[in-house]
Amino acid sequence: MIKRAWTEWRSGYMGRLISESFFAQGPLYAVAIVAMIAVAATTAGSAFMMEYIVDAMTSPEMRDWAAVIALGVVLLFLTKAVASYIQAIYLARAGNRIVATQQDRVYRKLLRHGVSFFAENESADLLMRTTHGAQAARQLIDVLVTGFVRDALTLVGLVIVMVYQQPVLSIMFFVVGPIALLGVRHLLKSVRAIMQAEFKSLAEIIRVLQETTVGIKVIKVFSLEDRMITRMDTAIRKVEERSNDIARLQSIASPLMEFLAGLAVAGVLVVSTLGIAGSEQPTAGQLMSFITALLMAYEPAKRLSRMRVQIETAMVGVGLLFGLLDQEDTMQENPEARDLLDGPGEIALRNVTFGYQGSMPVIEDMNLVFEAGKTTALVGQSGGGKSTIFGLIMRFYDPDGGSVEIDGQNLREASYSSLRRKISYVGQDTFLFSASVMENLRCSAPDATDEEVIEAAKAAHAHDFICELSNGYDTHVGENGTFLSGGQKQRIAIARAILRNAEILLLDEATSALDAESEALVKSALDALTQNMTVIVIAHRLSTVLEADKIMVVQDGAVVEQGNLDELMELNGQFRNLFDRQFKKREPAASAQTEIAD
């Protein structure tokens, strides 16, 4: 039974935190604990020394020892000061290490998840779990260490002094202590529920701030300021209410202990005055030593009485942290994964069926092949499954049925690193890191030289505008490129993909933010740079894909037509309808292509 209880405790959040974090920082905590023992001992010693201090000041026969007693007091408090400093420093170092370690663990865990995980979990919630969860882990261990070592030992030492000096009067302390603990016990039931609600409200504040930062243009255009202010005010008020509730619960212990301590001192005064503390009247030094120990015992006793409340408060954040760490990875690399072999870059979907979680299949029993070294365009109405095909090729998701293959190798059996090396991507939602232009370009090829980076920028027709920026390639682009126009961001993204020089290039509306002249220049550069490269292009503007080696029309999760421009025009089907709607007239494919090129 004891073994089972121990196993259950070890597998619980507190047991795991202690075994994973406390013991991992054992050397730091060992130094802090030794210092805490010294603090506890010197605290009790200072109360004990009060007997000799008072007697030296009031008793003539003790005055010769005054210098020795004074030196002892100095050494005692010097020891306590040094121990307190060491305790604080090493406790802080260990706590900071725990926060850093837990945040690193959570971030690595997040990166192991697939894209679907981030679609299902709000960033505000993940941010709360990462930051507040790690801080709660530190807080919990700090409370346990300081409570069970410093405060408990200090209280024990002071009680020993009290019992030594006045055994009968000490009985009153043992009556007061349990009453205080009973007074705090009923507070614990409400703490966890209040803290969980407070975490939700804090997450809402972060969520509103994120939405305001990202969607400020929409907020301004549609005059949503009042609505956002209302949301923020509601969240702030809820946090304020929960914080007040927690403060009230935590503060009850202090006045309770204050009152009980006053009762104890008054009782000591009455009992000692009436002479019922013992047959022998205590000296002034003994009585002062006892009262000093009693008063000094108030602070550690108060902290110990509040410790359970603090533990319950911290456990909510620790639970959120471990709840995130314990989630199964939505995408897992095969333990026996092998690197993709060098090959021409042919991509095939074999009987692929896929649906996003909780929805009907987007793709069902799809079979198609993207020829190596050729450019294939995917066109069709939005929602047909084109971007889903890209997600499967990049293995953001695994198909529910069938397989996705590159050069005949199933991606489920391929290592992530080899797959990522083989693919470069430019999306319609261009993302840039909050860093310099050079850092954003080089992130796709960290080992690239400055000359190679500049050549890629020139190929994407980005070099000229980059040179005109305040610090050229060292210009900071702001959060997600906020200091750049949409077209500039997209050209940097294209340059980044060119610099990658991968065998497979995926372009999802990659030139949608460019003007006609820039689009023509970039397209010309891409045509020259992607010779013998497998290129797949998603485009709604047919003018960008008319020269593709093959065009596939994707509708309702299926390829309904495929072929080159002339073949599809002759079919007079879905592609012809799309073509006519965009160009407003029917004409032979060849002449249409010529007119667009002109």
371-404 tens-digit pLDDT: 998 999 999 888 888 889 998 999 988 898 999 9
Q: Which range has the worst mean pLDDT, 392-396, 483-487, 532-536?
A: 483-487
**Six token digits for residue 73:** 């007091």
pLDDT over 90 at 315, yes or no: no
Superfamily holding 2-325: ABC transporter type 1, transmembrane domain (1.20.1560.10)
In 3D, which of 389, 393, 427 has the Cα closest to residue 555? 389
Q: Which residues pair with 476 in a beta bridge?
A: 436
Give the integer Cα–Cα distance in Å for 308 and 188.
7
Give the integer Cα–Cα distance in Å for 460 and 496.
9
Provide mean pLDDT across the span 328-342: 84
For position 592, what pLDDT does the model report?
45
Residue 546 has phi, psi (to 5 degrees) of -65, -25
The confidence band for 407, taking pLDDT boundaries of 50, 70 and 90, is very high
For position 348, what pLDDT does the model report?
94
Q: Which range has the worst mean pLDDT, 194-203, 217-226, 490-499?
A: 194-203
Q: Note the Cα 529 to chain centre separation in Å.
A: 39
The confidence band for 591, taking pLDDT boundaries of 50, 70 and 90, is very low
All structural domains of the chain with their residue ranges: 2-325, 347-597
For position 481, what pLDDT does the model report?
84
Listed in sequence order, the residues at least 6 apart from 187 whose beta carbon sits closer than 8 Å to its beta carbon are: 249, 252, 253, 309
For position 588, what pLDDT does the model report?
47
For position 598, what pLDDT does the model report?
39
Provide mean pLDDT across the span 42-59: 84
Asked whether the domain spanning 347-597 has the same topology as the one spanning 2-325, the reply is no
pLDDT over 50 at 19, yes or no: yes
Provide mean pLDDT across the span 243-259: 68
For position 595, what pLDDT does the model report?
42
Q: Which residue has the higher pLDDT, 135 or 251?
A: 135
The confidence band for 593, taking pLDDT boundaries of 50, 70 and 90, is very low
Listed in sequence order, the residues at least 6 apart from 189 whose beta carbon sits closer than 8 Å to its beta carbon are: none
Instruction: Please give the single-letter amino acid code of residue 409.
Output: Q
Provide mean pLDDT across the span 270-279: 59
The confidence band for 79, taking pLDDT boundaries of 50, 70 and 90, is very high
For position 173, what pLDDT does the model report?
64
For position 180, what pLDDT does the model report?
56
Q: Which residues pair with 369 in a beta bridge?
A: 348
Q: Which residue has the higher pLDDT, 516 or 32?
A: 32
Residue range 203-238, pLDDT digits in tens = 778 878 777 877 776 777 667 788 888 888 888 888
Mean pLDDT over the full length of the chain: 81
Residue range 116-133, pLDDT digits in tens = 788 778 887 888 888 888
For position 557, what pLDDT does the model report?
85
For position 181, what pLDDT does the model report?
55
Q: What is the pTM of this model?
A: 0.73
Residue count of the chain: 598
**Six token digits for residue 510:** 């990659």
State the CATH class of domain 347-597. alpha beta
For position 404, what pLDDT does the model report?
94
